[in-house]
Copies of this chain bind each other. A is one copy, B any other.
Amino acid sequence: MDASEFRKRGKEVIDAIADYYESLDQIPPMSTVKPGYLYKIMPHEAPEEPESFDDIQSDLQNKIMPGITHWQSGNFFGWFPSNSSFPAMIGDMYSTMFDVVGFNWICSPAVTELETVVMDWLGKLIGLDKRFLSIKEDGTEGEGGGVIQGSASEAHIVAMIAGREMALERIKADGKVSNEEADSMCHRFVAYFSDQTHSSGQKAANIIGCRTRIIESDKDFRLAKRSLMAAIKQDKRAGLVPFFVCGTFGTTNTTAIDDLAGIADVAESESLWYHIDAAYAGAALACPEFRPLATGIERADSFNFNAHKWMLTNFDCSAMWVADSKHLVNALSIHREYLPRVKGDTSFVKDYRDWQAPLGRRFRALKLWYVMRMYGASGIRAHIRSHVKQAKWFEEKLIEDGRFEIMAPVVFGLVVFRIKPSAVNTSGDFEDVDPDVVNKANTDLVKAIQADNRVFLVGTKIKGKDVVRAAIGSTIGKQEHVENLLEVVLQLTSSVIDSI
């Protein structure tokens, strides 16, 4: 395919993309293929000779498309949203065009420098404390700054590595043990999470090889200061070394918000690295009305949210900030002759390779730049607020119906609910409903919704209860989609109850 064929075919693809988005409401959101479907209809080797573009397009339509679950559909309410947008797509097309590997400044200065610029823009947009910004108000460089990671998991790993480095430095500086002994202590290092912390916390701990302590969340699914303190006290007594704690702003199960200020107190007194995972809900901080919920963030060591979830920037674009990059860079910096560093007259040159696990990096700042400029701060806020309003409306209608229980406060776009015991019970004796029957009714409801396939959502389990999760926040999602969701839920709830 040469440039002239690309002009023709590329434009066909642009139309195909626009067609896809315009027709998403007409197709069922969830793929219904059976496991192993593709292998059976695919050749087992790459072709020896080039194939025609038309043949590939036909296979895309007939073989790939049926295996797609349509995250961009307005009827997709699964997990958390994965917002795509046309401006982000255009940013990504240019990033793909340049196809640079930005492992240092000269690889393409714009890749490094635009990232510094837009991460400061984004930090200001969500009201982050200025200690997280790269450039201070006087125009000089701060200790902190933002970096784009591929995922919240990678942010978690990087934060934990920085935390381990900070703890090791402190222990070595104390001089009570030799450096050798300090290094040997790492397997006694403990990272603290709640039972609602995202799985990436445990995975990061497995990767760096430290211990974890999973603390039971309170009745509101929050990590509380008192439980954290008790766990640390116990672990220290057992000879372990607390070094890291993760607070969550908007947990995966229920969008609960941990006691972020209380955790900050503990992190300070115990010298822990304090990471805040706001993967989903961080986007809401673009709206000032949500910021009071986030008190404590300004005292964290690192903060992360995924612009690729609820902020219109195609996957992957996980925004992470640190208040002081020293420990990160100390832990991840490797020098090689073929990787020269540039020292500018100013300090605007960051070696982002020392801020992440991999060496190479794509030009992800570009899509974020397109998004912030083409939506504007006002457009991003309107996007968030429209979904929160839809979620509140949906919650209200569920309550009005009378058969549902809202399982956690609806703060953002997630509504967690279940068919309540009294609605399941047909005998009228509300006090004595078998929890298993209630659980089964709710898992049946999720299955029925997925089988019906007018909308897509998933269930989860919280504190032993099977519940239904509806995450409202698709880029093209409108009030009418949530009305459709309500209709499906009410209708299928009746079927489920009838069949008990």
User: Is A402 located at the chain interface by the 8 A CB criterion?
Assistant: no
Whether the pair A362, B316 counts as a contact (CB closer than 8 A) is yes
Nearest CB on B from A52, distance (A): 9
Q: Which of A36, A92, A124, A342 has the most C-beta atoms of chain B within 10 angstroms of its own C-beta?
A: A36
B37 and A113 contacting across the interface, CB-CB below 8 Å = yes
Let me know if B69 and A82 touch, CB within 8 A: no
In the complex, what distance in Å separates the CA atom of A118 from the CA atom of B45? Answer: 8
In the assembled complex, how far is the CB of residue A80 from the closest CB belonging to chain B, in whole angstroms?
A: 9
A318-362 at interface with B (beta carbon < 8 Å): 331-332, 334-340, 342-349, 357-360, 362
Residue A288 CB within 8 A of the other chain: no
Q: Which of B21, B51, B338 contacts A458 (CB 8 A)?
A: B338
Judge whether A290 is part of the interface by a CB distance below 8 angstroms.
no
Secondary structure dominating the interface of A = helix
A93-B17, A110-B64 known; A460-B338 Cβ under 8 A:
yes
Cα distance A183–B120 in the bound complex, in angstroms: 41
Contacts of A372 in B (CB 8 A): 46-47
Q: Do A376 and B47 have beta carbons less than 8 Å apart?
A: yes
B187 near A87 (CB under 8 angstroms)?
no
Tell me which residues from 145 to 204 in chain A have a Cβ below 8 Å from any Cβ of chain B.
Answer: 150-154, 157, 161, 164, 183-184, 186-188, 199-200, 202-203
Taking a contact as CB atoms closer than 8 A, the residue among B69, B89, B108, B187 that contacts A186 in the complex is B187
List residues 457-492 of chain A with CB under 8 A from any CB of chain B: 458-461, 469
CB nearest to A2 among chain B residues: B86
Say yes or no: is A500 at the interface (Cβ < 8 Å to chain B). no
Contact B86 A50 (CB under 8 A): no
Q: Tell me the complex Cα distance, A153–B361, Å.
A: 11
Q: In chain A, residues 373-389, which have Cβ atoms closer than 8 Å to a Cβ of chain B?
A: 373-379
- Interface assignment of A6: CB less than 8 Å from any CB of chain B: yes
Given contacts A17-B97, A208-B207, A315-B360, contact A373 B199 (CB under 8 A): no
Stretch from A7-15, A229-237, A390-398, A421-429 forming part of the interface with B: A7-15
Count chain A residues whose beta carbon lies closer than 8 angstroms to a beta carbon of B. 153
- Given A46-B376, A93-B13; A113-B157 close (CB under 8 Å): no
CB distance from A146 to the nearest CB of B (A): 13
Return the CB mask of A99-123 against B: 1 if under 8 Å, else 0. Answer: 1110001111111011011101110
A448 to chain B: closest CB distance in Å? 16
- The stretch of A26-34, A260-268, A292-300, A404-412 that contacts the partner chain: A26-34
CA distance A6 to B83 in the complex (A): 16
| A472 smallest CB distance to B (angstroms) | 16
Instruction: Please name all residues of chain B whose beta carbon is closer than 8 Å to the beta carbon of A101 when the two chains form the complex.
Output: 71, 79, 82, 308, 315
B residues within 8 A CB of A96?
84, 88-89, 92-93, 314
With a cutoff of 8 Å between Cβ atoms, the chain B residues found around residue A370 in the complex are 56
Q: Nearest B residue to A356 by beta-carbon distance?
A: B153
Q: Which residue of B lies closest to A3 (CB)?
A: B18
Contact check: which of B14, B79, B109 meets A33 at CB < 8 Å? B109
Which residues of A, 61-97, contact B by the 8 Å Cβ criterion? 63-72, 79, 82-90, 92-94, 96-97
Pair A10/B90 contact, Cβ less than 8 Å: yes
CA distance A15 to B8 in the complex (A): 9
Q: Which single residue of chain B is at the shortest CB-CB distance from A210? A: B209
A20 at the interface (CB under 8 A from B): yes
Nearest B residue to A369 by beta-carbon distance?
B56
Contact yes or no, B3 A22, CB < 8 A: yes
Residue in B11, B35, B108, B164 whose CB lies within 8 Å of A344: B35
The interface residues of chain B lying within 8 Å CB-to-CB of A346 are 35-36, 39
- Measured CB to CB, the closest approach of chain B to A328, in angstroms, equals 12
Contacts A1-B374, A84-B96 aside, 4 further interface pairs with beta carbons under 8 A come to A1-B85, A10-B11, A30-B106, A69-B100
Q: List 27 A-B contacts (CB under 8 A).
A: A6-B14, A7-B15, A13-B93, A16-B97, A30-B106, A33-B110, A35-B343, A45-B121, A46-B124, A47-B376, A48-B377, A67-B110, A69-B100, A71-B101, A71-B108, A82-B100, A84-B99, A101-B308, A153-B358, A153-B360, A154-B357, A157-B207, A183-B187, A199-B359, A202-B334, A315-B360, A338-B458
